[in-house]
Amino acid sequence: MSLNDPIAPPSTLDALVDPEALLAALEPLWQLSRCPLRVLRADATVFIALEDPCGPAALCQYVDAFELSRSSCEELVALTRAPRAQAAMDLGEPVAHRCFTGAEYRASELFLGGRSLGRVVFGPFRPDTEPAADPFFAALDTRIDAAFADREFSRMPALSAAQADSIVRGTRATIVALAAQSRDLALLRAVHDATQHGPAEELVRKNDELERANAHLRELDRVKGNFLATISHELKTPLTSILGYAEMLSENIGGVLNDEQRGFVTVISDRARQLLGMITSIIELARMDQKQLRAARTPVSVGKLAREVAATFVPSARKKQIRIDAEVDDSTPSAYGEAGYLRQVLHNLVDNALKFTPEHGSVRIVVRPTSAALADSAEDSVGLAVLAHSRPCVELRVSDTGVGIPRGERDRVFDAFYQVDTGVARQFGGAGLGLAIVRRIVDAIGGQVRVEDNEDGVGVAMVVILPAAES
Amino acid sequence: MQLDFRARELTLKFVYCGPSHAGKSTNLRVLHDRIAPLHRSKIITLDANDDGTLFLDLLPLSVKMGDVVVRLNLYTVPGKALLTATRRLVLQGVDGVVFVADSRSSETRSNAESFVDLKQNLRDSGRDIRTLPLVIQFNKRDAADARPDSELDALADRGSEPVLRAIASRGEGVSETFVALLDVVLRRLETAGELERTLHVDSTTALVSITDALGLPTDLQRACFGGGGSRHT
Ligand SMILES: Nc1nc2c(ncn2[C@@H]2O[C@H](COP(=O)(O)OP(=O)(O)OP(=O)(O)O)[C@@H](O)[C@H]2O)c(=O)[nH]1
Ligand SMILES: [Mg+2]
């Protein structure tokens, strides 16, 4: 595997900084002292210079008049302009250079991303601690008039070391900021070019279209939910009448029935009640969809609920000669949920198990502690695989000795209106909406539900994992 | 998605996100080495040091379908928590995300933090992760303290997006992850009616012709956790 060369960002002052803009930006800073301020390229040539239009200070002109002092001055200027290694420059901290006249320079390297762009040279200026020129200057040449040198030296603008340093720092910061900005732009442009992006408006338009399509789908979902709720209510009203009249018939209110008639009426009542149950479920499901089922969560003892729910099913289980028992591990912590909804989960699971268990079978409810990876919030189904973390949980397991569910179908049993497509299922009536409701509730609580093999052999177990309440 | 009718080009932007050192750049390098030069340019790396990506990596791919050029630009973002502004920048206009998670149990928390950061970055730019095509890759399955398959299988079953396993440093699972995302993105475009309009094909045809041209497999089952692979939405 080979790493390709990184794109080399532009790294020269000319490529990165517009000299006119820089002059404009530095002008106010320069006005503070009006001492020469130069920005040099990495090769020490001048990029921009801010100088007094009246030319160099009189002292400098005087220095230029004598051969020895002129060459010493040139040497010094070359030194101030020489590139510096990064380490020696302490990342661009100003470095002082002292002229033989007593005037001073400050130089500062311009680093960007570890590379030198060039440097700032400021000076000469008179240090405010020096009232007169260094006598060394007058000693260079017998023709030099020391009194004249002193007078011109004292006329140069005086600055404290701190002032000079801050002018240089300000200059450096300005240049580096401008350069960094345009380097980043250049990098972005490079990426842009590399990917040959088209016009931006097209992108925005596409996004808008997709958003609209999404909003439309959401609206359809909502309408569907409303529709289900409305139609179900409409179905419920006549059905209640049917049930009522069937009841009156069986109670001989409309006259005494013979056995055959009574049998027919019982079938009518049973089927009507079954239908009513389904309609109630549809309404429940639609309502859950709409409210996103933000169940109020409090600690709930699932074990206690399990015993209660098991007890309510004992009569109907006995009718089919099915054994039903609840087994609760006393060390199970409370679950974090809502008692009413959790009761419904248990009710639906047991109801479902009984429905699919043939005579002489058994239904077992087990409540025990476990640990599982659950997400913090119910909305975290996106990215759940990375958001979930292991925590104490309550396992609720309802197993039956029924016909079982093929492995490939186990995910789908929680879909609304799903039916395991076997003769047996048809014979016992469909799974209907019970399991879909279970999943809605469990999802809302932040738990999980799945189908497993029955640990005891035939049949399946519906396993619900609920987050334990913090103790 | 970007469509340039004049140039007859369709451009999709995929971004590899995930915590630092999870293997995002490695994924890109493997794809680079696997795809014929005709269909890819070199990897462009902006700012990187020995400790990982500082700005981004970019691998541009292109495939011709009929008379339309399909461009797939694959980006990585830096995983370092501090560089969130960079990630937000790179994520702009994204069409699909591969979240590269680190399988080591010690990294479980940084995976989650990185994912939360991703969600936040998307939200800040007016996007919603729930409507964005996403696949999750658990990389470094070879690590000594990698979380067990059974745990990830169970999580994958419950999550709403495909979850794949990978050992990117050995090239395993990398193509599958990319193809899984491509699949989700194409299906999404199909639902929005875009695929018919631009490429005049259904998502399956598009997936097969793009992966064929790139020389990548379409059978992902082996690399998927849980029941994944076939049940993307
Ligand atoms: N053991 C193992 N190491 C891997 C695997 N994939 C990648 N690595 C190594 O993990 C390290 C980090 O990989 P990168 O691809 O640079 O990670 P990244 O996600 O781009 O990291 P950032 O750029 O910092 O966000 C490298 O040393 C890789 O060789 C894997 O599957 N198994
Ligand atoms: Mg990287």
CATH code of residue B111: 3.40.50.300
Runs of H (alpha helix) within chain B: 24-34, 84-91, 108-124, 149-158, 174-191, 194-198, 203-214
CA of B51 to the centre of ligand 1 (A): 10
Distance of CA A263 to the CA centre of its chain: 63
Query: Is A4's CB within 8 Å of B156's CB?
Result: no
What are the pLDDT digits (tens) for A45-80? 999 999 888 778 888 888 888 888 888 888 888 888
CA of B22 to the centre of ligand 1 (A): 5
ipTM exceeds 0.90, yes or no: no
pLDDT of residue B162: 93
Q: Could you tell me whether strands B52-65 and B44-49 are parallel, antiparallel, or unpaired per DSSP bridges? A: antiparallel
- Rg over CA atoms, chain B: 17
Q: Which of B67, B63, B65, B89 lies closest to B78 in space, CA to CA?
A: B89
Query: Is A385's CB within 8 Å of B192's CB?
Result: no
Q: Which of A192-201, B3-12, B148-157, B205-214 has the lowest mean pLDDT?
A: A192-201
Record the pTM. Answer: 0.54
A206 has a chain B CB within 8 A of its CB: yes
C-beta atoms surrounding B70 within 10 Å? 20
Q: Could you tell me whether strands B96-102 and A323-328 are parallel, antiparallel, or unpaired per DSSP bridges? A: unpaired
Token duo for residue B94: 């994204």
Q: Which residues, other chains included, contact A393 with Cβ-Cβ below 8 Å and sequence gap of 6+? A: A369, A370, A371, A372, A374, A447, A465, A466, A467, A468
User: Is A447:A378 a contact under the CB 8 Å cutoff?
Assistant: no
SS3 A303: helix
pLDDT of residue A427: 43
CA A337 to CA A297: how far, in whole Å? 4
B10 has a chain A CB within 8 A of its CB: no
Q: Is the CB of B78 under 6 A from ligand 1?
A: yes
Is B228 contained in some domain? no
Is B171 contained in some domain? yes
Query: Which of B2, B43, B115 is nearest residue A203 as measured by Cβ atoms?
Result: B2
Query: Which of B2, B13, B115 is nearest residue A202 as measured by Cβ atoms?
Result: B2
DSSP A1-43: --PPPBPPPP-SHHHH--HHHHHHHHHHHHHTT---EEEEETT
* β-bridge mates for residue A39, sequence order: A48, A120
Q: Is the CB of B177 under 6 A from ligand 1?
A: no
Q: Which residues, other chains included, contact A350 with Cβ-Cβ below 8 Å and sequence gap of 6+? A: A309, A310, A313, A324, A363, A365, A398
Is B11 contained in some domain? yes
Determine the residue of B15, B16, B17, B21 to mutate for testing ligand 1's pocket, defined as the one with the most ligand atoms within 8 A of the Cβ atom: B21
Biggest distance spanned by C-alpha atoms of chain A: 148
Biggest distance spanned by C-alpha atoms of chain B: 53
pLDDT of residue B166: 96
CA A311 to CA B38: how far, in whole Å? 71
A44-52 long-range contacts (CB < 8 A, ≥24 apart) are A44/A81, A44/A82, A44/A83, A44/A118, A47/A13, A47/A14, A47/A17, A47/A19, A47/A22, A47/A118, A48/A19, A48/A22, A48/A23, A50/A23, A50/A26
Could you tell me the residue ranges of all domains in chain A?
13-198, 202-291, 298-467
A54 has a chain B CB within 8 A of its CB: no
Q: Is the CB of B10 under 6 A from ligand 1?
A: no
Q: Is the CB of B26 under 6 A from ligand 1?
A: yes
CA of B169 to the centre of ligand 1 (A): 7
CA A100 to CA B78: how far, in whole Å? 53
Instruction: Classify burial at A470, counting beta carbons within 10 Å of its beta carbon; exposed 0-12, middle 13-18, buried 19 or more.
Output: exposed
- Rg over CA atoms, chain A: 44
Q: What value, to the nearest 5°, has the Cα angle with vertex B84 and ends B80 and B88?
A: 130
Query: Left (φ > 0), alpha (ψ -120 to 50) or beta: where does B60 sit?
Result: beta
Query: Is B58's CB within 8 Å of A194's CB?
Result: yes
**Residues in chain A closer than 8 A to B44 (CB atoms):** 4, 6-7, 190-191, 194
Class of the domain covering A298-467: alpha beta
User: Is B115:B142 a contact under the CB 8 Å cutoff?
Assistant: no
**Residues in chain B closer than 8 A to A442 (CB atoms):** none
Q: What value, to the nearest 5°, has the Cα angle with vertex B217 and ends B216 and B218?
A: 125
Is B230 contained in some domain? no
Q: Is the CB of B211 under 6 A from ligand 1?
A: no
C-beta atoms surrounding B62 within 10 Å? 18
Query: Which of A194, A195, A198 is nearest residue B4 as measured by Cβ atoms?
Result: A198
Token duo for residue A261: 């008639």
Mutate to test the interface with B, among A386, A407, A413, A443 (most CBs of B within 10 A): A386
Mutate to test the interface with A, among B6, B61, B139, B158 (most CBs of A within 10 A): B158
Phi then psi dihedrals of residue A189, to 5 deg = -65, -35
Q: Could you tell me whether strands A335-337 and A298-300 are parallel, antiparallel, or unpaired per DSSP bridges? A: antiparallel
CA A402 to CA A454: how far, in whole Å? 10
pLDDT of residue A177: 79
CA B117 to CA B24: how far, in whole Å? 16
Which positions of chain A have pLDDT values less than 70?
1-8, 84-92, 189-211, 213-214, 216, 218-230, 232, 285-296, 375-381, 416-432, 471
Average pLDDT over residues B146-166: 86
Token duo for residue A310: 């098991």
CA A256 to CA A259: how far, in whole Å? 10
Ligand 1 atom at minimum distance from B100 CA: 19
Instruction: Classify burial at A88, counting beta carbons within 10 Å of its beta carbon; exposed 0-12, middle 13-18, buried 19 or more.
Output: exposed
**Confidence bin at B48 (pLDDT 50/70/90):** low
pLDDT of residue B217: 82
Runs of H (alpha helix) within B80-148: 84-91, 108-124
- Which DSSP letter does residue B167 get? B
Q: Is the CB of B168 under 6 A from ligand 1?
A: yes
Is B233 contained in some domain? no
- CA distance to A33, A171, A172, per residue, from A26 (Å): 12, 7, 10
Which residue is listed with tokens 């696997």?
B34
Is B170 contained in some domain? yes
Is B172 contained in some domain? yes
pLDDT of residue A88: 46
**Residues in chain A closer than 8 A to B29 (CB atoms):** 1-3
Q: Angle at which helices B108-124 and B84-91 pack, to 10 degrees? A: 60
Ligand 1 atom at minimum distance from B54 CA: 23
Q: Which of A387, A358, A355, A352 lies closest to A373 in space, CA to CA?
A: A387
* β-bridge mates for residue A466, sequence order: A394
Average pLDDT over residues B56-80: 87
Chain B: nearest CA to A208, how far in angstroms?
A: 11
Token duo for residue A240: 């209640």
3-state SS string over A207-249? HHHHHHHHHHHHHHHHHHHHHHHHHHHHHHHHHHHHHHHHHHH
A21, HSE (Cβ side, Cα atoms, 13 Å):
11
Query: Is A450's CB within 8 Å of B47's CB?
Result: no
Query: Is B45's CB within 8 Å of A3's CB?
Result: yes
Q: Is the pLDDT of residue B173 over 90?
A: yes
Q: Which residues, other chains included, contact A191 with Cβ-Cβ below 8 Å and sequence gap of 6+? A: B44, B46, B56, B58
Q: Angle at which helices A259-291 and A434-445 pack, to 10 degrees? A: 30
Q: Angle at which helices A161-195 and A19-31 pack, to 10 degrees? A: 160
C-beta atoms surrounding A457 within 10 Å? 8
What are the pLDDT digits (tens) for A258-280? 999 888 888 888 888 878 877 77
Ligand 1 atom at minimum distance from B22 CA: 19
Q: Which of A52, A74, A66, A63 lies closest to A134 in space, CA to CA?
A: A63
Query: Is B134's CB within 8 Å of A382's CB?
Result: yes
CA A14 to CA A40: how far, in whole Å? 11
A450 has a chain B CB within 8 A of its CB: yes
Supply the range of the domain harboring residue B32. Answer: 2-223
Query: Left (φ > 0), alpha (ψ -120 to 50) or beta: where does A339 sit?
Result: alpha
Q: Which residues, other chains included, contact A428 with Cβ-Cβ below 8 Å and sequence gap of 6+? A: A355, A356
Instruction: For domain A202-291, give the fold.
Output: Helix Hairpins (1.10.287)
Name the closest-CA residue to atom 5, ligand 1.
Answer: B169
Chain A: nearest CA to B5, how far in angstroms?
A: 10
Query: Is A386's CB within 8 Å of B115's CB?
Result: yes
CATH 3.30.450.30 fits A13-198, yes or no: yes
Phi then psi dihedrals of residue A264, to 5 deg = -60, -45
Instruction: Classify burial at B177, counting beta carbons within 10 Å of its beta carbon; exposed 0-12, middle 13-18, buried 19 or more.
Output: buried
Query: Which of B11, B99, B194 is nearest residue A383 as measured by Cβ atoms?
Result: B99
Q: Which of B150, B144, B138, B153 lies closest to B103 in space, CA to CA?
A: B138
B233 has a chain A CB within 8 A of its CB: no
Number of domain units in chain B: 1
CA B159 to CA A387: how far, in whole Å? 10
B93 has a chain A CB within 8 A of its CB: yes
Query: Is A411's CB within 8 Å of B157's CB?
Result: yes
